[in-house]
Amino acid sequence: MAKAAAKSDLTERLLSGDKRALAKAISLIENDDPAGWELVREVYPKTGKARIIGLTGPPGVGKSTLIGALTKEMRAADRDVAVLSIDPSSAFTKGALLGDRIRLSEHFLDKGVFIRSMASRGALGGLSEATLQAALLMDASGKDDVFIETVGVGQAEIDIVDHGDTVVLVLMPGSGDSIQALKAGVMEIPDIIVVNKSDHPLTDTMVREIRGVLSLGPRVSWKVPILRTEAAKGEGVAELAEKITEHREHIESEGTLEERRARNLRNEVLELAAARMRRRLEGTIADDPSVSELLDRVVRRELDPASAATELLERADG
C-alpha cells in the first residue's frame, strides 16, 4: 500500500515535470528495476508529444557543444529541453561526463532543461532499450525537445539514434571514416549533416566529399542539408535549429513521422522480446546440465549447431 502510494506519487511528479522525479525514474530504468518498467507502462499513453532528436558522430567532433548551443536556441523559443548522452565507452565515462558538465553547465540550473548521461551497462535488452525508455520518460515529463547524443561511426549508435524523429550526423573536417561508412552503406543516411569546427581550412573539401556521397544515394523527397557550424561560438546553430524544425514539419506533412515511429516501435518490441528470449535461453543453459551436455556435443562435432539450436528452443519452450 505504502509502496503503491509512493509509486503513484513518483508518476504524478514525473508527469508534472519535476526534474528530480525524472532523474529518479531514469535511475530505475538504468538499474533495470521493475518499478522503472512499471512507471513507463503507466506514463506511456502520455508520450509521443516531444520531438526526439538524435545527434551522432565520431568522438570529439563537438556534439555536446552543439547540443548546448541548440538548447540555448530552444530555450529562447520557450521550449523545454532534455538531453540524454549515451556513453558506450565506459572506460572514458568520467572524463567525457566531466567535459559535458562543463559544456552544458550554463543550463544546469535552468528548470526547463534536464541533462542526463547513461552508461552502457545493465538494462534489459541493452543500452538501446534503456535509451528509449529514458526518452519516453523525458517525453512524458513534458519536454518539448529530447536530444539524444551517441558517439561513434558504426552500427550500434545508429541503432540508438534510430529512435529519433530527426537524426543529425555531426562531423568535422577530417572525419574521413564516417564518409567511408556512409559510402559503404554501413551507416544509414541521416536527415541532416553538420560539419562542425568549420573554421578549419579543410571544411570545403569535407562538404564536397559529403555532397559526393549523398549524390550517389536515391533521390528522396527530403534533400539532406549539409550545414557548417562553429558550435563553440554558436555560429550556424540557429540555422541548424531551423533545419531540425523544417525536417520535423516535412515528415509530419508527408506522414513519414508516423511511419518512422511505427517502425521504431515495432523494432523495439521485437528487440525486447529477443533480449528476454536470450536471457531465458541462457538461464536454461545455466540451470540444466543436459543443455551444457548438448553444447559439448556440438564442440565434439557429434551434433551440428543448427540441430542443437532446435533442441535448445524446444527445451526452453517446454
The phi and psi torsions of 8 (rounded to 5 degrees) equal -70, -25
- Type and span of the H or E element at 149: strand 145-151
Please choose, out of 106-114, 120-128, 178-186, 192-200, the segment that lies near ligand GTP by the rule CB under 6 A.
192-200
Question: Any idea which residue has 562543463 for its cell?
Answer: 102
- The binder of Mg ion chosen from 11, 64, 131, 141 (CB under 5 A): 64
> Residue 289 and residue 16: Cα distance in Å, rounded?
51
- The binder of ligand GTP chosen from 56, 131, 141, 196 (CB under 6 A): 196
Rounded to a whole number of angstroms, the minimum distance from the CB of residue 236 to ligand GTP is 9
Residue type, 47: T
Is the separation of the CB atoms in 110 and 79 below 8 Å? Answer: no
Rounded to a whole number of angstroms, the minimum distance from the CB of residue 227 to ligand GTP is 12
Strand partners, 133: none
The one of ligand GTP, Mg ion, none whose footprint includes residue 152, by CB under 5 to 8 A per kind, is none
Is residue 62 classed exposed, middle or buried when 0-12, 13-18 and 19+ CB atoms within 10 A define those classes? buried
- The binder of ligand GTP chosen from 124, 186, 224, 232 (CB under 6 A): 232
99 binds ligand GTP (CB under 6 A): yes
Closest CA to 226 of 263, 279, 189, 273: 189
62 binds ligand GTP (CB under 6 A): yes
Please choose, out of 63-71, 110-118, 133-141, 292-300, the segment that lies near ligand GTP by the rule CB under 6 A.
63-71
Smaller CB separation from ligand GTP, 102 or 286? 102
The one of ligand GTP, Mg ion, none whose footprint includes residue 59, by CB under 5 to 8 A per kind, is ligand GTP
197 binds ligand GTP (CB under 6 A): yes
DSSP letter at 285 equals: H
Smaller CB separation from ligand GTP, 196 or 284? 196
Question: Count of CB atoms within 10 A of residue 250's CB?
Answer: 16
Would you tell me which residues interact with Mg ion (CB under 5 A)?
Answer: 63-64
